Amino acid sequence: MAADVHKKKGWEVPNGSLVPADGQHTERSESPTPGLAQGTEPGAGQEGTMFVHARSYEDLTSPEDAGVTSRIPEEGQGDEVDQTNMEQISKDFSELSTQLTGMALDLEEEMRQSKEDKLDLSPQTCRRDSVLSGKEEEDVTMDAWRMHQKHVFVLSEAGKPVYSRYGSEEALSSTMGVMMALVSFLEAEKNAIRSIHADGYKVVFVRRSPLVLVAVARTQQSEQEIAHELLYIYYQILSLLTWTQLNHIFQQKQNYDLRRLLAGSERITDNLLDLMARDPSFLMGAVRCLPMAAGVRDAVSASLQQARAKSLVFSILLSRNQLVSLVRKKDQFLHPIDLHLLFNLISSSSSFREGEAWTPICLPKFNSSGFFHAHISYLEQETDLCLLLVSTDREDFFTVSDCKRRFQERLRKRGVYHVLQEALRTPFYSISQVGIPDLRHFIYKSKSSGLFTSPEIEAPYVSEEEKERLLGLYQYLHSRAHNSSHPLKNIYFTGPNENLLAWVTSAFELYVCYSPLGTKAGAISTVNKLMKWIRKEEDRLFILTPQTY
């Protein structure tokens, strides 16, 4: 890739002049300057924030989660030792790679003869659902399976299969075995390297005792990003079981078959992986708001706030993975990762459209040892407005259910029901509103609020592949900007089909996509205009006055 990467060059950002966020900076300048302090950037909440201070991406790979992709060899180990290990690993992996690409050739032959009609299964028809639902299991000997962009496996430390993105865990157990051997090899050698590159693949291991998560990816993502996704999968599993229960189970019985407890929930994990491939929320570690007039949003928040109950911790109104309003108990902060897991849970199943669901859920970033209880329901049959009430008391269903009734009553009394429905009709805004000719798309994240905004993805990114390609470019820029050894403040990337620009400060992150016709100077000159536009629209695009109860 012809990346034109600058570190503190080109358009200068006086990094040293950045003022640390101290809550004193309440002035909201019309257009942000590079030296803008955190808390005053567009989208920053005026009265504090809704989320745990979201370091998000860094958070996942910070010391708590360290060792994921670290390439630094253990102290005392020379480079030579490392080198040998690397060779050994590569050799092992090439065997694994053979396993993956040419698994049991003679068996494949056999399948071809006996199951002629099944061979043209397209990947879409191959989604595995619950074991019992009678859906097709993906045949692991098929080309389609091999060609998937990213395989994800979860194993127990004893090597038992827990989850596989494509195809049944059973059929894959030989592959799992090889992976396990690799993992224990890595472990035995106390080698810090947890990712292997070979043959157009990246294999990334994340070990979170008692689980091992493995991705085999053909995507352009960095190991760091792949590890980040694997951690999401890990948190997803915790959200169903809690860390405490997971550990307890494996302490009792090392070779426990976890699939028993996860049965019926594979779909939630499948959905998370699909979502991560197309929704920038996960990459940004931030939450997107449904654009709407500030007055309407405030009325919704006030209604939510009034419909409280003692056991309620968070009241969240959302529409298709976009946040409408979030009201929280004083002093309790939600982590964006936990909110993403909740969004994913809701989007993974149409079953919430009927009646009122009541389910235990662990929010691992908030507290990985216990369950909250979530009341999930759609406001009306035909809308996408979903209300999520998070309670601490599992016996409180009826109290919480009554909160929903009161919330709806308030909405009606305030007369915002219809305006709200109206806002749902235009869940995205068009890039043309910004009025910059060569501008195609952008992602802007306010770091202090943990919220981001982004217009609808429009032509030429029409097909799913094109959309994912654009997200892939953002991923690439993001990984360059956040590279732990060489972080970059600003990047200008020229590609054959588009030019991109990334600008990361301590207050915000901006990723912009331009048509390939524009110049770098042109792009830089329009950034200011874009930022002014975001500032002008911020009360519609962000939640500036979060409420508590």
Partner 1 sequence: MAQRKMGKEMTVTSDGYHSKPTYVYKVVLLGSMAVGKSSLAFRYAKNSFRETMPTVGCSFFKQMIHLETANIMFEIWDTAGQEKYHSICHLYYRGARAALLVYDISRKETFNRAKLWLRELEKDFLHDEIVIILVGNKTDLATEREVTSEEGKEFARSKGLLHAETSAKSNHQVTDVFMTMPVQSQSWKKSRVDLRAPNSNQIKKCCKS
Q: Which stretch binds partner 1 (CB under 8 A): 31-39, 294-302, 342-350, 487-495?
A: 342-350
Phi, psi at 207, each rounded to 5°: -110, 120
Q: What is the C-alpha to C-alpha distance for residues 237 and 334, in angstroms, rounded to an integer?
A: 18
Is residue 524 within the footprint of partner 1 (CB under 8 A)?
A: no
Output 245 or 359, the one with its CB closest to ligand GTP: 359
Which residue is at the shortest CB distance from ligand GTP? 133
Q: What is the C-alpha to C-alpha distance for residues 473 and 297, in angstroms, rounded to an integer?
A: 33
Q: Least separation, in Å, of the C-beta of 271 and partner 1?
A: 10
Pick from 1, 105, 132, 459 the residue near partner 1 by CB under 8 A: 132
Output 3 or 357, the one with its CB closest to ligand GTP: 357
Is residue 115 within the footprint of partner 1 (CB under 8 A)?
A: no
Q: Least separation, in Å, of the C-beta of 321 and partner 1?
A: 17
Q: Which stretch binds partner 1 (CB under 8 A): 55-63, 300-308, 398-406, 496-504?
A: 398-406
Pick from 97, 195, 224, 265 the residue near partner 1 by CB under 8 A: 265
The site partner of 360 among partner 1, ligand GTP, none (C-beta below 5 to 8 Å per kind) is partner 1
Output 267 or 308, the one with its CB closest to ligand GTP: 267
Q: What is the C-alpha to C-alpha distance for residues 282 and 235, in angstroms, rounded to an integer?
A: 13
Pick from 264, 355, 437, 516 the residue near ligand GTP by CB under 6 A: 264
Contact between 507 and 523 under an 8 Å Cβ cutoff? The reply is: no
Output 350 or 463, the one with its CB closest to partner 1: 350
Output 264 or 460, the one with its CB closest to ligand GTP: 264
Is residue 124 within the footprint of ligand GTP (CB under 6 A)?
A: no
Q: Least separation, in Å, of the C-beta of 357 and partner 1?
A: 5
For 280, counting Cβ atoms within 10 Å of its Cβ (0-12 exposed, 13-18 middle, 19+ buried), the class is buried
Closest CA to 328 of 301, 346, 347: 301
The 3-state DSSP class for residue 277 equals helix
- Omega of the bond prior to 210 within 30 degrees of 0, cis? yes
Is residue 397 within the footprint of partner 1 (CB under 8 A)?
A: yes
Is residue 252 within the footprint of partner 1 (CB under 8 A)?
A: no
Q: What is the C-alpha to C-alpha distance for residues 267 and 128, in angstroms, rounded to an integer?
A: 8
Pick from 354, 456, 464, 465 the residue near partner 1 by CB under 8 A: 354
In the chain, the amino acid numbered 4 is: D
Output 67 or 264, the one with its CB closest to ligand GTP: 264
Residue 417 parent element (H or E): helix 417-425
Q: What is the C-alpha to C-alpha distance for residues 470 and 461, in angstroms, rounded to an integer?
A: 7
Pick from 113, 133, 381, 433 the residue near ligand GTP by CB under 6 A: 133
Is residue 304 within the footprint of partner 1 (CB under 8 A)?
A: no
Q: What is the C-alpha to C-alpha distance for residues 217 and 61, in angstroms, rounded to an integer?
A: 19
Q: How far is CA 72 from the centre of its chain?
A: 26
Q: What is the C-alpha to C-alpha distance for residues 178 and 200, in angstroms, rounded to an integer?
A: 19
Output 16 or 398, the one with its CB closest to partner 1: 398
Pick from 30, 114, 398, 425 the residue near partner 1 by CB under 8 A: 398
The site partner of 243 among partner 1, ligand GTP, none (C-beta below 5 to 8 Å per kind) is none
Angle, nearest 10°, between helix axes 266-278 and 336-347? 110
Is residue 261 within the footprint of partner 1 (CB under 8 A)?
A: yes
In the chain, the amino acid numbered 449 is: S
- Count of other CB atoms within 10 angstroms of residue 207: 18
Q: What is the C-alpha to C-alpha distance for residues 316 and 222, in angstroms, rounded to an integer?
A: 33
Q: Could you tell me the two tokens for 142?
A: 């098929």
Is residue 355 within the footprint of ligand GTP (CB under 6 A)?
A: no
Q: Least separation, in Å, of the C-beta of 34 and partner 1?
A: 46
Q: 363: Cβ–Cβ under 8 A, 6 or more apart, which residues?
A: 239, 334, 335, 338, 341, 342, 372, 390
Q: How far is CA 450 from the centre of its chain?
A: 13
Binding site for partner 1 (CB under 8 A): 130, 132-133, 240-241, 260-265, 267, 345, 349-352, 354-360, 373-374, 376, 394-399, 401
The residues binding ligand GTP (CB under 6 A) are: 133, 264
